[in-house]
Structure 1
C-alpha cells in the first residue's frame, strides 16, 4: 500500500515542483488527485498533480502535451520524480476550466445535444478527479470549482450516455443470441453490463472513466438495486456455464434492464 497524499504534503510537493522549474511564479491552484489521494494507491501509482494558471505555462526542458477540445487546445504534461513516486503533472488554465464547466452545464444537458460526446477522455479524467482532489495551494479556488462540479449536470450526462450504450449493446446481444451466435452475444452482453454499472455508479455520484477502479467505486457507492456481491458475480462470470451460455446472457441482460429502470436521466 502506497502513502496517502494529504494537504499536509503541500509544502514538500510545492517545494519539489519549484526546485525542478515546474511551478510558475503565479498560479491559482495546485492540487493533488487520483488514487493516492483516495487511499487506493500502490507501489506503481503515479502522483497526479494539477497546476492551474491564468495563462499557459511553458517550462524549460522536456515537455509533453495532451490534446483537448478547448482553447488553448492542449494541456502541458510533466513527469517529474517526487522521491520514490513518479509524478504526472498537468497544466490547465482557468479559461479551460471555464469551458469545461460550460460543457457540463444544465443548459447544455437540457439542450438535447450529446454533451457526453463533446467531453474528451482527458477532460473527463480532469473533471472526475476534481471530486476528491486535495488542495496543496489555492484551496479557495479548488473549493469553488468542486462546488461548480457538484452542481453541474455531469453525473446526469455520464449516466445518460452510459445507459444509452448499455441498452444498445443489450439489444445487440439478444439479437446475436437469437441468431445462433452465443460467443458474440457473450462479449456484447459483457459490454452492456459494464456500461450499466457505470451508469449506476454515476447515479450514486461515483464517476468512472475506465474499468480500472470500477470495483473500488462500486464498493464506495454501495447501490442497493445491484449489490456489490451480485455485481462481482457477474463481473467475474462466476456462474457462467459454457454448456448454457444463453441463460447467463439473458440473466445479465435482465440486470442491465433493472439498472435502466433505476437510473434517472
Structure 2
C-alpha cells in the first residue's frame, strides 16, 4: 500500500481532524515501511503546539506532561486511519528522557525509562514518512540520533535477555522443562531485539514485524536462516528438549557478548 501525501493531508483536512497548529503529520508503522497489506490500518502521528480538542477521541496514558495522548479512528479509502495526537512539548520530554546526561545503564536494564508508547514514537521517527513537517522530522531525527536512545533500548533488551536466561537455567536445573522452554524463547527474542536495536532497527514491541526488522538490519552475528530456525524451533526434538534449551540459552549468551550498548 502506497499513500499519496497530498491526498492524505486533504483527507485529514476534509474530515476536520488536522490541528490548526500542526507541526508535523507522520505516517508511521508498516505503511511507512512498505510492509502493509490490504487489511492494514494507516497509523498517523499528528504533532501540534496545542492539545487536540476534536470529538470522538480516546485518551491513552503516557508518563509525560500532559499525561495523555488523544486518539481518533475513522474509515476512508477502504481502511481504518488511526490518528494519535501528540504535543511538541511531549516530544521534547521524550527526547530529554534519553539524553546522555540522563542515561543510566542500571535504569535502562530495568526497563524504567520509556513507556512502550513513548519508545514506539521515538523509534518510528527514523522510518516515518512525513506528510507535513519535513524540517521538523529532520530536526527530531538528528536529536534522537545524537541521544542515548539506541543505548537505552539495547541495554533494556540485554537486561531482559539476561533475566530470561537465568530463569531458563534455573527452571532447567529444577526439571521444569516446559517453563524453561518458554524462558529460552523469551531470552532469544530479547537477544535478537538487542542485535536489531544496535543497528537502528527499533519498534521491538511490534513482535509481528521481527522477521522484517531482522532482514532490514542484517546483523553480522546471526544470519536470517539461523534466526528463523530458532524462531520456528526447527531443530527442536520432543524426545530431548534439554538439548534445544541448552543450545538456545548458550546461543543467547554468546550473541549478547557481541552486542555493544
TM-score norm. by structure 1 comes to 0.94
Residues 79-94 of structure 1: matches in 2 within 5 Å?
79-94=73-88
1:27-176 equivalent positions in 2, closer than 5 A: 27-59=22-54, 61-110=55-104, 112-114=106-108, 116-176=111-171
DSSP-derived class of the 1:113 partner: helix
- Correspondence list, 1:5-16, <5 A: 5=3, 9-16=4-11
**In structure 2, what is the Cα distance between the partners aligned to 1:158 and 1:25?**
34
Distance 1:212 1:54, change over 3 A: same
* 1:14-65 deviation line (CA, Å, top 9, x unaligned): 1111111101222211121110111100122111111111111111x31112
- Asked if the contact 2:21/2:50 (under 8 Å) is kept, the reply is no
For the residue of structure 1 that corresponds to 2:152, the secondary structure is helix
- How far apart are 1:183 and its partner, in Å? 1.4
Deviation digits for residues 93-141 of structure 1, max 9, x if unmatched? 1100000000111111147533842311111111121111111111101
Distance in 2, matches of 1:130 and 1:94, equals: 13
C-alpha distance after superposition, 1:219-264 (max 9, x if no partner): 1111121111111100100100011111100110111011110111
Q: Equivalent residues in 2 for 1:222-241 (5 A)? A: 222-241=218-237
2:245 and 2:105 map into 1 onto residues whose CA distance is 36
Contact kept? 1:204, 1:223, Cα under 8 Å: yes
SS state at 2:60 partner: strand
Inter-partner Cα distance in structure 1 for 2:165 and 2:15: 51
1:177 equivalent among 167, 172, 176: 172
Q: Separation in 2 of the partners of 1:82 and 1:129?
A: 23
Number of residue pairs aligned between Structure 1 and Structure 2: 259
- Residue 168 (structure 2) pairs with residue 187 (structure 1): no
Alignment partners' CA distance in 2, 1:210 and 1:33:
12
Q: Does the residue aligned with 1:80 lie in a helix, a strand or coil?
A: strand
Contact in 2 for aligned 1:158/1:202 (Cα 8 Å): yes
- Between the aligned partners of 1:121 and 1:141, the Cα distance in structure 2 is 23
- In the alignment, the residues of structure 1 paired with residue 163 and residue 19 of structure 2 have an alpha-carbon distance, to the nearest angstrom, of 47
Partner of 1:262 in structure 2?
Answer: 258
CA RMSD of aligned residues (A): 1.4
Gaps of 5+ in 1: none
**Residue 74 of structure 1: CA displacement?**
0.4
